[in-house]
Structure 1
């Protein structure tokens, strides 16, 4: 082993050199970082308790989950010390720990950037190509070796519908998907598509390169590597990474900005915040389902008892936690639900609209109403449905305050405006309903959620009542 790597940089260097020789010399960088804490405590890392290992990793202020690999190294190092009889007491504190889950707490979420910070960086980029690249990463494009970016053709950008058609390709084949993006992202993409010259070093150099004229949105600059136009050439992933590194260096940004995954994870936090505020509560399962769709993630498969159970990755669960989001954006606001504008009302009333994420909406409303019909108190699971007060228009309709848990027959009456709820949360039965059974519920107060923030929206109920009263016929019912 090179003595220069060991000399004075490692605590208990003789034993650590044995471990490095038996495993990987690259681990020397970890031991350099643990040396100060080992010296302060007067003991080798293999004698640290679980709490002390936690304190050590807290001091590292990790920026991404990649740093958690060092916990596996420490676990192996402690096992090595036990095997070599250097450690004889208390066993290995990491032996029975789920490192992936336990270690997430040591990632410094405040290192992630808010949307406004990302936009500030984009505004300082001198090339439209780079502006579009960063924003598209932030909004969900990625793929194997960044293939969703390198494969993006100009014809794949639907400006009018604000959709980009992405292709994720690897050695097993290709997978296509459509991603809805923001107005500002479309603007950046339009500018990137017509950019002809690329400013070297983000404009800090006097060099200007001609961009390769291809069918793709993101294109390489003509220079030493490419000295003539190549219409079919894609931009390689390492060039994308180099461009991010250049922006990082010329704008004096933290070193982790050069990692595309960092920009993506900042985007995950932003869109999670948006989802929570749209539905009016923290629902991690809902957010993860939506994010896996937007960011093209796959559930991990855990095998238990010979069966496979899909689940969300631990590090993604970490990103959607409320405390971590509020570390980046401050306290979240959960505004009351307001009726959504419905430009296709007649079409919607006559034709069933596709409803996204309904199972998750159903689960939330069931939970809010304690699995009981708000009118009858019915608890039989198979006949309970989450009713939208304002009929479904888009995913924003799945706000908690736009839902009531009703038995299927009451749901049908509600949707046909034969039943409504007044400003005191009491049931009103339309005079067209002759059934004595249903009439008995007229004037009955519904059962409300425990949390006032989940009460049905009075503004939306008022709109429902307007239609109810138009169709109501007078009689002696009071």
Structure 2
């Protein structure tokens, strides 16, 4: 996502320690939507708006959130010194540590909501990363993410002409068909056409290693170009591991609990939430609907439903989607 007041924020990034740039960029990117909505820069926020901003960052630890608060405070100090803010008082300095700690969720968190997922997507600069995450959320994964690693541009183009029905190939369990979103297919095409990959989500400390060329082949998710026969092969599972490690790291998004399976399950949880919001309950037929919609594999339907119920049930839906359901004093999570 484009930064709000990008020229000003880039000037600030020029004067900070190079090692701090990735985290500050993440802070600015995640808050850009709020700044746009309020029609003002972070340096003009009042105390409550700063706390809302900190909450939006979804930090899972006190140390991480305090670090974000420190960066925000320094940014406002800089803006005041440069005389580009409307005020002369840094309201971030009026906050207490306890105020800031209240912006952290306190419960155990394993999954993310649809809004949190969109927040992650908005911070990503590479189409390869965006496509990978969207495929997982929509239900494409497979053994060692082989459904994603085997996906070719031709498969995506075929799905565009076939009602978004995507044929995917699992190394262990064979092929299946699954319907995915327009956004997912469009991002897959952009990924397949992408030539350059921005290392560390566009915030690499080394200018030499800030970008690399992707292999020229037919796959949606591709390895780094090597000018060897390997350039014709599908990506290795290490590409998935690298993406998870960098994109979900504290300096970028701070979701250390997430992995491919939990992103996939977050998509299942979202399907359950939509049904629960409409009906106020989840019945056996609703679970069957979710399983069929996502083309979930199973040998025994009853066992499959039981498995999904462990993380898609009324309690979990109310816990994760309390805000969307209008539940006050919902369970906080971390």
State the shift of 1:282 in Å: 2.0
Gaps in structure 1 of 5+ consecutive residues? 1-60, 62-107, 302-308, 334-478
Alignment match of 2:222 (pick from 207, 219, 222): 219
Residue 318 of structure 1 is matched in structure 2 by: 310
State the shift of 1:310 in Å: 4.6
State the shift of 1:244 in Å: 1.2
Residue 122 of structure 1 is matched in structure 2 by: 121
Q: Deviations over 1:199-232 (max 9, x none)?
A: 111111132111111111111112xxx3436453
Q: Deviations over 1:249-288 (max 9, x none)?
A: 241413122x11111111111011223446x342342233
Q: Deviations over 1:266-323 (max 9, x none)?
A: 1111011223446x3423422332333344544465xxxxxxx952364421222112
Q: TM-score under structure 1 normalisation? A: 0.41
State the shift of 1:325 in Å: 0.8
State the shift of 1:238 in Å: 2.4
User: Using the alignment, how far apart are the partners of 1:247 and 1:151 within structure 2?
Assistant: 22
Listed as ranges, the matches of 1:286-365 within 5 Å are 286-299=285-298, 310-312=302-304, 314-330=306-322
SS of equivalent residue, structure 2 residue 281: coil
User: Using the alignment, how far apart are the partners of 2:295 and 2:182 within structure 1?
Assistant: 21
**Alignment: residue pair count:** 213
SS of equivalent residue, structure 1 residue 312: helix
User: Using the alignment, how far apart are the partners of 2:268 and 2:179 within structure 1?
Assistant: 15
Q: 1:213·1:230 contact (CA, 8 Å) conserved in 2?
A: no
Tell me: CA distance 1:159–1:198, structure 2 relative to 1, closer, same or farther (3 Å). same
Q: 1:140·1:264 contact (CA, 8 Å) conserved in 2?
A: yes
Q: 1:299·1:310 contact (CA, 8 Å) conserved in 2?
A: no
Residue 3 of structure 1 is matched in structure 2 by: none
State the shift of 1:153 in Å: 1.0
Rg comparison, structure with higher value = 1
Q: Deviations over 1:83-133 (max 9, x none)?
A: xxxxxxxxxxxxxxxxxxxxxxxxx66442111111111111110010011
Q: Is 1:164 equivalent to 2:163 in the alignment?
A: no
User: Using the alignment, how far apart are the partners of 1:247 and 1:156 within structure 2?
Assistant: 26
Q: 1:216·1:234 contact (CA, 8 Å) conserved in 2?
A: yes
User: Using the alignment, how far apart are the partners of 1:192 and 1:252 within structure 2?
Assistant: 21
Residue 251 of structure 1 is matched in structure 2 by: 252
Residue 88 of structure 1 is matched in structure 2 by: none
Listed as ranges, the matches of 1:377-388 within 5 Å are none
Q: Is 1:264 equivalent to 2:264 in the alignment?
A: yes
Q: 2:288·2:305 contact (CA, 8 Å) conserved in 1?
A: no
Tell me: CA distance 1:283–1:313, structure 2 relative to 1, closer, same or farther (3 Å). closer
1 or 2 for the larger relative contact order (CA 8 Å, sep ≥6)?
A: 2
SS of equivalent residue, structure 1 residue 190: helix
Higher strand content, 1 or 2: 1
Gaps in structure 2 of 5+ consecutive residues? 1-59, 61-106, 326-334
Instruction: Say what the alpha-carbon RMSD is for the aligned residues.
Output: 2.7
User: Using the alignment, how far apart are the partners of 1:300 and 1:181 within structure 2?
Assistant: 23
